[in-house]
């Protein structure tokens, strides 16, 4: 009950967009421009709920999800985890993750050494060393329980902790990035809960050669709650959000990007129902809402200032069809109400607004080992709203393995 109470408190805090901040090492001003079916594409390329749940319980493994968003860009997620006890009290681990769907993002990596100090309580040192000592990270964590279930981990990490001391350039941090992390999971016979969030102080970096000041704040949180009904049916809610603020300010630079600030916001909420025992088939249906906002302000040219919003409300259904002991087929349909708007802050530039219905179908084949510890997923997607002119709508290849 104490663990469940802590989760509820964390969930409430994670819903307040101004309280959770984190530094993701992206110093660029981003201006994504999505294709209309982008969020339907991303949904169709992802592993099924059953495979996601397998990954939640994987302590040693790797997975990659990739799919085409258009002629120039791909949806890409790379994750790796390694965890190994050394003695009864000492455990070492590694985890890394990179996700790209609107901009190029650096990979986040952490190596950890953990010590059990008493009962179910552990302390840990973690971070990631680098050849260039300026950009190494160092953190400490307090952990109750152990993954994959019934644990809470609270941590603080100082990013680029030696940057000012070791820097051989002229730039320096005025406010160094410090990030707090919380994650955990709870499992009973019927209820399963998983949550994650990051908290840090704002970062400020000054580049004297260009008289440039870079500021950054960001928020990210995610959680999943699912409940098992009779006959192993699951109803769940999976949500994720981030809120990123970035500013580049220079009184002497002529680059437009160096006189801009922006706020990027993303919310994704997925309500789903999984029915796994339909003559060996597994049916998953759901309703998902995604919205991405970009509020950009240009201090030198107001014509470049705008509010951008891209949102999709989609209904989906997938059917997992076991074909033989090493092959599963999956069929899916996705239909979404898509809205895209770019509102300029000056009347000299026209606003843009569009709304339409997008629909697509998915056919995928998943080859897997007999033990189920290695999987290869090949996805093809098709335009249901324009089958006559452009039936093919891209595809993707993903892999997942545990060891």
* pLDDT value of position 234: 96
Higher-pLDDT residue of 264, 25: 264
Q: State the Cα–Cα distance between residues 233 and 216, nearest whole angstrom.
A: 43
| % of residues, the chain, pLDDT over 70 | 94
Tell me the C-alpha to C-alpha distance, in Å, between residue 116 and each of 53, 60, 144, 146, 157.
Answer: 27, 20, 10, 10, 20
* pLDDT value of position 17: 34
Is residue 318 a contact partner of residue 330, using CB atoms and an 8 Å limit? yes
205: tokens are 């970096």
Higher-pLDDT residue of 353, 278: 353
Residues 67-108: tens digit of each pLDDT: 999 989 999 999 999 999 999 999 999 999 999 999 988 888
pTM: 0.89
Residue 2, pLDDT > 80, answer no
- Tell me the mean pLDDT in the region 382-400: 88
pLDDT category of residue 5 using cuts at 50, 70 and 90? very low
**Helix, strand or coil, per DSSP, at residue 22:** coil
Residue 278, pLDDT > 80, answer no
Residue 9, pLDDT > 60, answer no
* pLDDT value of position 348: 83
Higher-pLDDT residue of 3, 285: 285
pLDDT category of residue 310 using cuts at 50, 70 and 90? very high
* pLDDT value of position 220: 94
- Tell me the mean pLDDT in the region 108-132: 95
* pLDDT value of position 106: 85
Q: Which are the contacts of 336, defined by CB distance < 8 A and separation ≥ 6? A: 37, 39, 40, 312, 313, 314, 315, 357, 358, 359
Is residue 381 a contact partner of residue 359, using CB atoms and an 8 Å limit? no
Higher-pLDDT residue of 22, 302: 302
Apex CA 27: angle with CA 21 and CA 32, to 5°? Answer: 90
* pLDDT value of position 23: 66
* pLDDT value of position 140: 97
Residue 258, pLDDT > 50, answer yes
Residue 350, pLDDT > 80, answer yes
* pLDDT value of position 10: 36
pLDDT category of residue 256 using cuts at 50, 70 and 90? confident
| % of residues, the chain, pLDDT over 90 | 78
Residue 19, pLDDT > 70, answer no
* pLDDT value of position 24: 65
- Tell me the mean pLDDT in the region 8-29: 49
Q: Bridge-partner residues for 330, per DSSP? A: 320, 364
Residue 3, pLDDT > 80, answer no
- Tell me the mean pLDDT in the region 200-222: 93
Is residue 38 a contact partner of residue 350, using CB atoms and an 8 Å limit? no
């Amino acid at each position: 009950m104490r663990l469940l109470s802590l989760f509820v408190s964390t969930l409430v805090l994670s819903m307040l967009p101004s309280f959770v901040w984190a530094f993701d090492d992206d110093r660029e001003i981003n201006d994504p421009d999505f294709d209309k079916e982008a969020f339907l594409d991303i949904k169709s390329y992802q592993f099924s709920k059953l495979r996601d749940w397998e990954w939640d319980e994987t302590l040693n493994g790797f997975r990659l999800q990739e799919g085409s968003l258009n002629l120039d860009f791909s949806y890409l997620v790379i994750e790796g985890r390694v965890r190994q006890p050394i003695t009864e009290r000492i455990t070492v681990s590694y985890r890394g993750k990179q996700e790209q769907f609107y901009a190029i993002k650096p990979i986040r990596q952490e190596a950890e050494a953990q010590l059990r100090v008493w009962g179910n309580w552990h302390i840990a040192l973690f971070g990631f060393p680098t050849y260039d000592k300026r950009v190494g990270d160092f953190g400490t964590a307090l952990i109750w329980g152990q993954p994959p279930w019934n644990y809470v981990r609270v941590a603080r990490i100082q990013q680029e902790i030696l940057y000012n001391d070791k820097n051989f350039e002229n730039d320096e941090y005025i406010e160094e990035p410090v990030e707090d992390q919380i994650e955990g999971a709870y499992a009973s016979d019927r209820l399963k809960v998983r949550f994650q969030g990051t908290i840090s102080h704002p970062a400020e970096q000054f580049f004297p050669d260009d008289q440039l000041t870079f500021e950054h704040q960001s928020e990210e949180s995610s959680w999943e709650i699912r409940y098992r009904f009779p006959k192993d049916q699951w109803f769940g809610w999976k949500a994720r959000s981030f809120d990123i603020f970035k500013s580049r300010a220079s009184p002497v630079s002529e680059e437009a990007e160096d006189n801009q600030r922006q706020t990027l916001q993303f919310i994704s909420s997925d309500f789903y129902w999984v029915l796994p025992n339909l003559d060996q088939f597994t049916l998953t249906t759901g309703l998902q809402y995604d919205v991405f906002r970009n509020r950009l302000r240009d201090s030198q040219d107001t014509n470049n200032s705008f509010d951008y919003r891209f949102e999709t409300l989609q209904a989906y259904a997938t059917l997992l069809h076991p074909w033989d002991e090493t092959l599963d087929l999956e069929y899916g349909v996705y239909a979404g109400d898509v809205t895209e708007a770019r509102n300029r802050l000056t009347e000299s530039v026209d606003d843009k607004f569009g709304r339409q219905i997008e629909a697509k179908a998915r056919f995928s084949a998943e080859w897997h080992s007999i033990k189920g510890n290695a999987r290869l997923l090949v996805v093809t997607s098709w335009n249901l709203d324009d089958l006559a002119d452009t039936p093919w709508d891209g595809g993707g290849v993903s892999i997942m393995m545990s060891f």
